[in-house]
Structure 1
Amino acid sequence: MKKETRIYIAGHNGMVGSAIWRILTESGFTNLIGASSKDLDLRNQQDVQNFIAEKQPDIIIDAAARVGGILANNNYPYQFIMENMQIQNNLIDCALKNNVEKFIFLGSSCIYPKLASQPLKEDYLLTGILEPTNEWYAIAKITGVKACQAIRKQFGKNYVSLMPTNLYGTNDNFDLTTSHVLPAMIRKFHEAKENDNARVVLWGTGTPMREFLFVDDMAKAVVFAIENKLTDYLYNVGTGSDVTIKELAEIIQKITGHKGEIIWDSSKPDGTPRKLLDVSKMHQLGWKHQIELYAGIEKTYEWFLQNIDSFKQVKL
């Protein structure tokens, strides 16, 4: 892969997209293309077509999406299914129409059935019912995976889907109404510490198990997919290990220095009991994560403190 290859990163200002941009730059790629949501509305098909026709990228990385945790998914189901389909469908279709040879679609482990055997293999896709609390987002992402697979089958293009586990890291979203569990906990524990070590109330029972991947490791998986030819249409990207939500809370409590009580509100939903990815396919190709959970949370909390007055908050 030539370092001057034109690479368009959709969503380059988000947590994942900005990490991909940074890692690509560190890897020597010199012709990166980005557009903010103010300059390009990815929900508008004609605008996307005009942009791709003008820029003529060799590779498109779709890191753009409307994202959020259980609360946001429950409260805004229509936006989560419709806007995500609009964004990805416009990018995929316009990539095909403009003869873009390589497309990397980023999804989520929530595409797999709620009660599938663990760890989750790529073959489990569409073999059971989804987790109801995020099925809208999951359905949208499944359509993106299948669209890329259809293009591979019909047109022979190198369109591949990478399904990351729960991502976290620098430039994360710490808005308590829309964020995912890990950044939400960081903010809750920090603010409780600053408030005389007030108690922290967390949703659910703390028993579900989750896998977490530092965003720089995800970005390196994308670079790996750019520099290598992946022969299948779908690959899981994760660490291959998980922790309970209770264990996660205790780690974050320790890193933030909070000394107060943790209260588990079991009247709130837990979500999927366990969601661990089988990452053997990526491991066999030669990619493996590098940053372990404790070190990754330390890096994330450090970034949070440095940006505490201006950290990203998503407004719905």
Structure 2
Amino acid sequence: MVGSAIVRYLNAHGYQNIVARTSSELDLRNQEAVATFFADEKPDYVFLAAAKVGGILANNIYRAEFLYDNLIIEANIIHSAYQNGVKKLLFLGSSCIYPKMAPQPLKEDYLLSGFLEPTNEPYAIAKIAGIKLCEAYRSQYGANFVSAMPTNLYGPNDNYDLQGSHVLPALIRKFHEAKVNNQEFVEVWGTGSPFREFMHADDLAEACVYLMNNYDGEQFVNVGTGDEVTIKELAELVKETVGFEGELRWNTDKPDGTPRKLMDVSRLHDMGYKHRIGLREGLAATYQDFLKNEEVYVS
């Protein structure tokens, strides 16, 4: 989702010499393959958007994979970027790097100030390691490697697999299938009380290119909207967008996850960037994209 959004933005704004690989074309967990790719292509700028990602269920079940895959992907790319003289690299992390009970909104300074949310701790640790790798290569070798921490994302090419998806695409698929099958209700995990912030992938792509062009600092930068909704409000909005007329049922035996995750995006705003796409607008466009590509997304 994120990689394709960045490529769309670059293509739309006149960047032509773009080198990209799908996961089937290049296994980023393979150190030799990554080293060969960098040696052959010699990229000047790298957007490190690749990661193994998922929602609460996937994060909690595949803990070893989320830690191992993400650690080795970022280590291979960051090291090869250094070895091949990349001019600048942007590493993308996640808002889950912050402690579960950190003060809100989440400031960049809160990193490593408390315990992580247990359900996604392996993924968070891997992303923190990526931040520290960039800092270490900058400190030891003078590499211009920067990091950005996006909030929760959605948009075209999202993952709609109910076993591994995040909350927003999962809700889109659940409500759509309930509508098509004339179901009486849709079950949603938890209490609906946690607050979450959502950013369209196209806004993130614009922010990434903005940071690549304008930011060279050591401190990582939060990327988000600064707005939040409860999961209950989100579920109601998805229900309305999809046009499902049945009821919502909350399974309170399932985990809520972190109570609140609102990013402090004042540093990004002070640099001159602010998101453009509101949640209602972005959700409507994302549902239309889901309808157009349903066979691909749910196959």
User: Could you state the TM-score of these two structures normalised by the residue count of structure 1?
Assistant: 0.93
d(CA) in 1 for partners of 2:249, 2:24: 41
Choose which of 155, 158, 162 in structure 2 pairs with 1:176. 162
d(CA) in 1 for partners of 2:22, 2:230: 36
Task: Describe the superposition over 1:84-111 as per-residue Cα deviations: whole angstroms up to 9, x where unpaired.
Answer: 0010000001111111120100010000
Please tell me whether residue 108 in structure 1 is matched to residue 104 in structure 2. no
Please tell me whether residue 233 in structure 1 is matched to residue 219 in structure 2. yes
Task: Report how many residues are paired.
Answer: 299
What residue is the counterpart of 2:5 in the other structure?
Answer: 19
Please tell me whether residue 135 in structure 1 is matched to residue 121 in structure 2. yes
Task: Describe the superposition over 1:190-216 as per-residue Cα deviations: whole angstroms up to 9, x where unpaired.
Answer: 111112142000000000000000000
What residue is the counterpart of 2:142 in the other structure?
Answer: 156
Residue ranges of structure 2 left out of the alignment (5+ in a row): none
Please tell me whether residue 286 in structure 1 is matched to residue 272 in structure 2. yes
What residue is the counterpart of 2:174 in the other structure?
Answer: 188
Choose which of 256, 271, 274 in structure 1 pairs with 2:257. 271
Please tell me whether residue 304 in structure 1 is matched to residue 290 in structure 2. yes
d(CA) in 2 for partners of 1:111, 1:231: 19
Question: Is 297-306 or 154-163 further displaced after alignment?
Answer: 154-163
Shift of the alpha carbon at 1:227?
A: 1.6
Residue ranges of structure 1 left out of the alignment (5+ in a row): 1-14
One-letter amino acid of the structure 2 residue matched with residue 225 of structure 1? L
C-alpha RMSD over aligned residues: 1.0
One-letter amino acid of the structure 1 residue matched with residue 154 of structure 2? Y
Shift of the alpha carbon at 1:225?
A: 1.4
Please tell me whether residue 249 in structure 1 is matched to residue 235 in structure 2. yes
One-letter amino acid of the structure 2 residue matched with residue 134 of structure 1? N
Q: Contact 1:197/1:259 (CA < 8 Å) preserved in 2?
A: no
Percent identical pairs in the alignment equals 57
d(CA) in 1 for partners of 2:77, 2:184: 46
Choose which of 176, 186, 190 in structure 2 pairs with 1:200. 186
Q: Contact 1:70/1:134 (CA < 8 Å) preserved in 2?
A: yes
One-letter amino acid of the structure 1 residue matched with residue 113 of structure 2? T
Please tell me whether residue 43 in structure 1 is matched to residue 29 in structure 2. yes
User: Could you state the TM-score of these two structures normalised by the residue count of structure 2?
Assistant: 0.98
Q: Contact 1:172/1:312 (CA < 8 Å) preserved in 2?
A: no
Structure 1 stretches of 4+ with a deviation exceeding 4 A read none
What residue is the counterpart of 1:8 in the other structure?
Answer: none
Q: Is the partner of 1:189 in helix, strand or coil?
A: helix
Choose which of 42, 51, 67 in structure 2 pairs with 1:65. 51
Task: Describe the superposition over 1:142-200 as per-residue Cα deviations: whole angstroms up to 9, x where unpaired.
Answer: 00000001112222222111100000001111111100000000000111111214200
One-letter amino acid of the structure 2 residue matched with residue 35 of structure 1? R
d(CA) in 1 for partners of 2:222, 2:285: 24
d(CA) in 2 for partners of 1:201, 1:34: 39
